[in-house]
Each structure stands twice: as structure tokens, then as C-alpha cells.
């Protein structure tokens, strides 16, 4: 089969190469799928650079989540059939940026029929992260104010829709007028262009000085630090990632004085410690998709030979929603 390989570490455009590789063979508890769609995620960028917490042995094929059609079942796999459309995580080194991929049956789920292949492929990591972050970790309640950073990106766009579905008032922060328009279309009640406005002042003004009840922060660095200046009494700051490139230090005396919580979110740990909750989350996301409450934003649909450029655009921070490969 054809697949994109990373044989050395660096920027995606420099290290991704389209090559011929052997087809994957399923081990016990695994499935081989024909890749129907696989979105680029920031972990794919970080793995190309060698900066992710998971460092697969070289060479490997990125693409950490996908929608695929089952073509082969490994020993002990039940509940799936050849020809079934599924979504979930890949098993590296056979990621989604190829014609075939390997999946673990334990982290594979039926694809919602209401979503096309590209949308379904984007429902797993970003939306599960948002669901666990907002509901399990932050306890978001109807009527609260949710501040979402990088609101036009793949993770942020999911948080907007999930926040709205939970009955929260959503304030989205973006960089640039084009991304601001995307955030509005996604349903954000207030949109802040950080290049033109100080989000701290806008949040205070929009909440009568109270601040945001929940901050969804996949950016980190100075974004996190400034968020502490507009967090409400008993607010919760969700530390989701560090796409800005800087891992901040938290001033714990400030959290004490203002009475807010700093909440970490490592979604992948739920697959290890509470897989039943992951299955519950997928059922809820499937229901929300059926109701039309969530609909992953797919901004680019790439042919297989366009992968390197698409992943690099994600790395450069110029994409909105999901950039999806459809071999």
C-alpha cells in the first residue's frame, strides 16, 4: 500500500514522504481498515518533530484518528464485521495517513450514520477531549460562561459546539477576521479577535466583571497567564495543551487568592483507566450528532498526495476546523 512515512524528525513538510510499504496484519484484538478519512491533529505535528509524549519508533505513519472500513479482524475481535464503517484511534506505526491502517478494537466505535467520512473521522479525539474536559473535569453547567481559546481550530471548534449543547454562553478567542467568522458560524455567542482586542477586558465586560466560569485552553503560555486575570470566583481553567509552544508555570498563590481551580486533562488516560467512560462518551457524541448539535467543521479535504502540505499548514497555525485526508 501507499502511506506517508516519517523516517527522520523535523518539520512535517521536510520529513513526510509518500512510500510503498507492506500492508498491516492485525494482531490479537486489532482490526485492519481501509482508510476513508483521517484528520491531521497537533499530535501528528509533534510526533514528526519528536516532541510528543508518545515517540513511535522510526519509521512510522502518522494519523492518530480515522474513519475506516473494516477489511480484516484479528484473533479475539468480536462486535465488528468486515465492511463496517468505524471510527477511532490508530495503532502506530500504521496510522491513518495511508491507504490502510491498524486499529485497536478496544478504541474503535461505530461511525455515526449522520456524519460523512471526513466528519466522522473528526469526532473522536477532539470531541472526546472536549466532552471529558467540559463535563468530567470542569463540570460545566447550563448558564455558565465558557471561554474557548483557539476557537476556530479543531479542538476549539469542538469545545464551542459542546459548550453550546450544554447550555453555556460561549466566548471564543481567535486570531484574525477569517477565524472570527468561523467561530461565529460555529455558534460562539461572543467572538474576540486577539489581534484587535484584549480578551481579558472583553470577558470582564461581557460578564459584568465576574469573569469566565470555565476556560478551555489548548494554547498555554501567555494565553494561560492572561486567562487567570478573567477567571470567575470558583472558576475552572482547563489545561488542554500547549499549542503556543510554551509550557507555563502556574502561580498557585494566585489560584488560592482568587479561589479558582487549575484542572489538567489527559484524555488518553481514560482509555487506560476508565474505558467504559470513553464508550459512554461516544454514545453521547453519537446522540448529539444525530440531533444536529455537533457537526465537525471540515475545512480541507485532501487527496493522499497532499498530506505533507496539509499537516504543515496545521503546524503553522493557519488552518481552521479540520484538515482531513481522504485517500
Cell numbers standing for residue 186: 460555529
| Residue 250 confidence class, pLDDT cut points 50, 70, 90 | confident
Q: What is the pLDDT of residues 169-206, one digit of tens each?
A: 999 999 999 999 999 999 999 999 999 999 999 999 99
Helix runs in the chain, H state only: 12-15, 42-49, 117-121, 125-131, 154-165, 177-186, 199-206, 222-227, 252-258, 268-273, 275-291, 307-315
Three-state SS for 223?
helix
pLDDT at 116 over 80: yes
Give percent of the chain with pLDDT exceeding 70: 100
| Residue 64 confidence class, pLDDT cut points 50, 70, 90 | very high
Specify the pLDDT at position 126: 93
- For 15-53, b/e burial (b = at least 16 CB within 10 A) is bbeeeebeebebeeebbbbbbbbbbbbbbbbbbbeeeee
Angle at 168 between CA 241 and CA 220, to 5 degrees: 15
pLDDT at 245 over 80: no
Mean of the per-residue pLDDT values of the chain: 95
pLDDT at 58 over 80: yes
| Residue 134 confidence class, pLDDT cut points 50, 70, 90 | very high
| Residue 234 confidence class, pLDDT cut points 50, 70, 90 | very high
Q: What is the pLDDT of residues 265-319, one digit of tens each?
A: 999 899 999 999 999 999 999 999 999 999 999 999 999 999 999 999 999 989 9
Query: CA 153, CA 156: separation in Å to the nearest integer?
Result: 5
Cell numbers standing for residue 182: 468561523
Specify the pLDDT at position 53: 82
What is the helix (H) or strand (E) element at residue 321, kind and residue range? none
What is the helix (H) or strand (E) element at residue 22, kind and residue range? none
Cis ω before 85 (30° cut-off from 0) = no
Amino acid at each position: 500500500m501507499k502511506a506517508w512515512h516519517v523516517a527522520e524528525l523535523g518539520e512535517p513538510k521536510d520529513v513526510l514522504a509518500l512510500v510503498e510499504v507492506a500492508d498491516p496484519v492485525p494482531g490479537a484484538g486489532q482490526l485492519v481498515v481501509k482508510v476513508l478519512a483521517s484528520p491531521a491533529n497537533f499530535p501528528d505535528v509533534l510526533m514528526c518533530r519528536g516532541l510528543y509524549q508518545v515517540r513511535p519508533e522510526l519509521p512510522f505513519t502518522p494519523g492518530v484518528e480515522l474513519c475506516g472500513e473494516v477489511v480484516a479482524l484479528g484473533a479475539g475481535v468480536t462486535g465488528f464485521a468486515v465492511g463496517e464503517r468505524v471510527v477511532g484511534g490508530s495503532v502506530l506505526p500504521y496510522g491513518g495517513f495511508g491507504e490502510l491502517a491498524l486499529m485497536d478494537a478496544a478504541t474503535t466505535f461505530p461511525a455515526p450514520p449522520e456524519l460523512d467520512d471526513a466528519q466522522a473521522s473528526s469526532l473522536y479525539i477532539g470531541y472526546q477531549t472536549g466532552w471529558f474536559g467540559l463535563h468530567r473535569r470542569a463540570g460545566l453547567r447550563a448558564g455558565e460562561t465558557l471561554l474557548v481559546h483557539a476557537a476556530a481550530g479543531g479542538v476549539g471548534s469542538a469545545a464551542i459546539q459542546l459548550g453550546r449543547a450544554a447550555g453555556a454562553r460561549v466566548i471564543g478567542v481567535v486570531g484574525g477576521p477569517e477565524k472570527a467568522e468561523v467561530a461565529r458560524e460555529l455558534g460562539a455567542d461572543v467572538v474576540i479577535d486577539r489581534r484587535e482586542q484584549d480578551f481579558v477586558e472583553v470577558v470582564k465586560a461581557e460578564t459584568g466583571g465576574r469573569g469566565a466560569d470555565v476556560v478551555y485552553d489548548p494554547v498555554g503560555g501567555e494565553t494561560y497567564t492572561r486567562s487567570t486575570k478573567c477567571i470567575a470566583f470558583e472558576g475552572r481553567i482547563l489545561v488542554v495543551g500547549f499549542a503556543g509552544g510554551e509550557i507555563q508555570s502556574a502561580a498557585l498563590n494566585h489560584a488560592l487568592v482568587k479561589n479558582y481551580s487549575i484542572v489538567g486533562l489527559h484524555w488518553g488516560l481514560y482509555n487506560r483507566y476508565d474505558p467504559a467512560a470513553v464508550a459512554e462518551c461516544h454514545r453521547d457524541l453519537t446522540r448529539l450528532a444525530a440531533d444536529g448539535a455537533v457537526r465537525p467543521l471540515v475545512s480541507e479535504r485532501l487527496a493522499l498526495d497532499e498530506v505533507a502540505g496539509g499537516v504543515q499548514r496545521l503546524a503553522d497555525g493557519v488552518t481552521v476546523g479540520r484538515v482531513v485526508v481522504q485517500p
